Amino acid sequence: MEDLNVNGTLIWYYYVCKREVWLMAHSISPDEDDENIDLGRFIHENSYGRKTKEISIGNIKVDIVEEKDGYVMIGEMKKSSRYIESARNQLAYYLLQLERNGITAKGTLMFPKEKKREEIELTKELVKKLEEAEKDIIKICYEPFPPKPIKINFCNKCAYREFCWS
Note the residues at the interface with ligand SF4 (CB under 6 A): 17, 19-20, 23, 149-150, 152, 154-155, 158, 160-161, 164
d(CA 16, CA 153): 10
Distance of CA 4 to the CA centre of its chain: 15
Report the residue number, 34 or 118, with the smaller CB distance to ligand SF4: 34
Q: Where are the beta strands (DSSP E) in 14-164?
A: 55-57, 60-62, 64-68, 71-77, 105-111, 116-120
Report the residue number, 118 or 136, with the smaller CB distance to ligand SF4: 136
DSSP 120-154: E---HHHHHHHHHHHHHHHHHHTSSSPPPP---GG
Report the residue number, 86 or 97, with the smaller CB distance to ligand SF4: 86
C-alpha closest to that of 152 among 83, 70, 94, 96: 83
**Shortest gap between Cβ of 78 and ligand SF4 (angstroms)?**
19
**Shortest gap between Cβ of 1 and ligand SF4 (angstroms)?**
17
Report the residue number, 55 or 152, with the smaller CB distance to ligand SF4: 152
